[in-house]
Structure 1
Amino acid sequence: MDKNTISADGTSLAYDTGGEGPLVVLVSGAMSTGGTLAPLAVPLAERFRVVVYDRRGRGGSGDTAPYAVEREVEDLAALIGAEGGEGALCGVSSGGALALAAAAAGLPVRRVAVYEAPYADFLQGGGERYAAYSRELSEALGAGRRGDAVELFLRLTGMAERTIQGARQSPMWAGMEAVAPSLAHDDAVMGDGLVPRARLASVPVPVLVLAGGASPAWMREGARAVAAAVPEGTYRGLEGQTHMVEPDVLGPVLAEFFAH
């Protein structure tokens, strides 16, 4: 990341920009950095000024205790302020929940796009399953068991046990453990894991909620519920896409929405 700005609590935020035009900030999800969304920034940069950034506690950004979701909302405010004073947000996975929280908090945001914020309303076990994950994640991180924390997250996503154990033996595992403490941030952003309908009812801007046609049914139904809870919410499915959405598929849809 080539640029830097300072959030309200003094935390340093690393970010990159590309393109010219109206501002769009991309917000990454769990176990990811700004670099994860860099491929999505490429098609958007043809029409917009795009910011990708490392959320606090990962990549080149700092982290200041105690953590609170409000601090991450302030991070977005700092980025928008540094790059023009008004922008649109696109959040992927739990980054979508953060983008919605920022809009509800009254940040100078024109539009918000959300791709598969993983609310568990329609997941088997629902809120109880998510509560168990939150509790076990807190215990693992509190004991310094970063690998176990990563396992818990991967299991929640539906990854097969054999695949998880294979990942644990792979060269990428060390990097996953390095970012594992930030799973607590995403857990806080997701709240109780259920669609926060009361908060979403206060979002004052148009919201496009997207899900992949090849994603699990619970993910698609959760996306529809988010769109229904927002006063100006619209749901759209992307045929053949999964949670690992292709930038060349998502990019043009976002560009059309943000161009209005």
Structure 2
Amino acid sequence: MSEAVERIPAPDGATIALHTFGAGPGIVVVHGGGVTIGIYKRLAHRLADRFTVHLYNRRGREDAGPRQEPYTFEQDLADLGAILEHTGARNVIGHSSGGYIALDAARRGLPIERLAVYDAAVGVAGGFPAQWLDAAREAAARGEVALAMALTAGGINTQSAASRLPLGAQVAICRAFLRTSIGRMMGQLLRMTLDESQQIRLHDAPAEAWSGITAEVLLAYGAGGPPYYAGLNNALAGAIPRARVLAVPRSGHDGLNRAPARIVEPLAEFFAYSIEQFRDARPRA
């Protein structure tokens, strides 16, 4: 499937490089922290026979413009709004911190009709772990990237066997990971990831804070990933009027970018049918 690249204006005068695949109803993908759109191209290709999929790098990454400092989510929200306006797309997929941005965009009234999030990093009444964050930010500020990454990975991936190893062993694993191509990318973007985690912590709120979302929302999470996502999504589903929870079996936090059929097909169904039809077709998680 061919990829078209178009540059569109951002509200602050920068340009947004929009990478587009396929044909059909439009879907905009808001990627997670610590990565770029490269790892989401498999997802785009697997949806492109039915949808027009738009990927874009969020600020400070590859072909994106510079990120405003001090960082807040406001610039991300403005860029997403510009993309929705330009493309006319009304469907959005958000992953991890991109899921927070997408949910907040829907809450603020951006023109989103259907929103699917996967492992959305949303603080709901203290349910998203953040005890690790101060130490990780301090380590990153000192330039101790492997330590900061180990604290981050262990704090977020509470289900992993590695998170129960001594910290020194976790640091050694991360030091080896940083020598891989994806590890180098995540290491280079780690401070940005930690800034996003800080914003998520600062915006922790009761689930009812999200009750104003009128879009149809699919709250998906990997059943093989961090266990707290189940509680977060169920709390959000209880507050968002037209929301549905989907637990994806045998999938971790990286499930969306791996894009197996057990994730892609429910997404395609959701964007093709109403939330009521989707609910009738699939048992509630």
Are the structure 2 counterparts of residues 209 and 102 from structure 1 closer, same or farther at C-alpha, using a change threshold of 3 Å?
Answer: same
Are the structure 2 counterparts of residues 110 and 164 from structure 1 closer, same or farther at C-alpha, using a change threshold of 3 Å?
Answer: farther
The structure number with the bigger radius of gyration is 2
Structure 1, gaps ≥5 residues long? none
The answer (yes or no) to whether the contact 1:69–1:188 under 8 Å persists in 2 is: no
Q: TM-score, normalised by structure 2?
A: 0.79
1:115 equivalent to 2:128? Answer no
The answer (yes or no) to whether the contact 1:31–1:180 under 8 Å persists in 2 is: yes
The number of equivalent residue pairs is 255
1:153 equivalent to 2:156? Answer no
Hey, what does 1:19 align to over in structure 2? 22
Structure 2, gaps ≥5 residues long? 274-285
1:30 equivalent to 2:30? Answer no
The answer (yes or no) to whether the contact 1:77–1:107 under 8 Å persists in 2 is: yes
Hey, what does 2:59 align to over in structure 1? 56
Are the structure 2 counterparts of residues 126 and 22 from structure 1 closer, same or farther at C-alpha, using a change threshold of 3 Å?
Answer: closer
Which residue of 78, 84, 89 maps to 2:82?
A: 78
The answer (yes or no) to whether the contact 2:34–2:185 under 8 Å persists in 1 is: no
Deviations 1:210-256 (Å, cap 9, x if unpaired)?
12232343222222122222111111112222222141221111111
Which residue of 249, 256, 260 maps to 2:269?
A: 256
Within-5 A mapping of 1:1-260: 2-66=5-69, 67-84=71-88, 86-119=89-122, 126=127, 129-130=129-130, 132-158=131-157, 160=162, 161=165, 162-170=169-177, 171-172=179-180, 173-192=183-202, 194=204, 196-245=206-255, 246-247=258-259, 248-260=261-273
Displacement, 1:154?
Answer: 1.4
Identical positions, percent = 29
The RMSD of aligned alpha carbons is 2.5
Give the whole-Å Cα distance in 2 for the aligned partners of 1:6 and 1:148: 38
Give the whole-Å Cα distance in 2 for the aligned partners of 1:150 and 1:139: 11
